[in-house]
Amino acid sequence: VPDGETPQAFYRRVDEDGDLMIHYSEDPEVFRHSKAAGVDHNTRNRAGRTALMEHALAGRTGIMEVLLQVFGSDGINLQDPRGDTALHLAARGLRNATVTSLLNHGADATVLNKQGWPPLLVLLKTGL
């Protein structure tokens, strides 16, 4: 934390894309410090995505699991402006390990996006 700045202000800082550090960080300590600073892990960036969604889309399974351990799985089924959940986004990216991890953490495989597709159909359509 820079001199003169509180941890709360530092970890709640938003960049030009509306991202908090937890949206892109791969450092588990950032998640721990962010939680201690009162950061809401379900905060959305300008794309309408939570940190969990961004990590799922990128296939960062290990760090996504740390985020879930630190903050819990509430919000795991939140939807972005396209109606996609973290599970839809992982499926779209053909991130099989990430899909499995999200399911193991309680992601709902029956949620439909705005196209009316559940995550499995997204996976099948993307993989074809």
Parse the chain into domains and list their residue ranges.
7-127
Place of tokens 């800082």: 13
Task: Tell me the pTM.
Answer: 0.92
Residue 8 has pLDDT above 90, yes or no: no
- Cα–Cα nearest to 77, from 46, 47, 56: 56
- Distance between CA 35 and CA 32 in Å, rounded? 5
CA-CA-CA-CA torsion sign (37, 39, 68, 27): negative
In whole angstroms, what is the distance from residue 42 CA to residue 32 CA? Answer: 15
Answer for the pair 55, 63: CB distance below 8 angstroms, yes or no: yes
Judged against a pLDDT cut of 90, whether residue 7 lies above it is answered with no
Architecture of the 7-127 domain? Alpha Horseshoe (1.25)
Task: Kindly provide the b/e burial profile for residues 29-55, where b requires at least 16 CB atoms within 10 angstroms of the residue's own CB.
Answer: ebbebbbeeebebebbbeeebbbbbbb
Backbone CA torsion sign across 84, 86, 91, 95 = positive
List the one residue out of 38, 45, 57 whose CA is nearest residue 16.
45
Specify the amino acid at residue 17.
D
Radius of gyration of the chain (CA): 15
The 10s digit of each residue's pLDDT in 17-56 is 999 999 999 999 999 999 999 999 999 999 999 999 999 9
Q: What is the pLDDT of residues 80-91, one digit of tens each?
A: 999 999 999 999
Nearest to 99 by CA among 74, 118, 72, 80: 118
Weakest mean pLDDT among 21-30, 58-67, 91-100, 119-128:
119-128
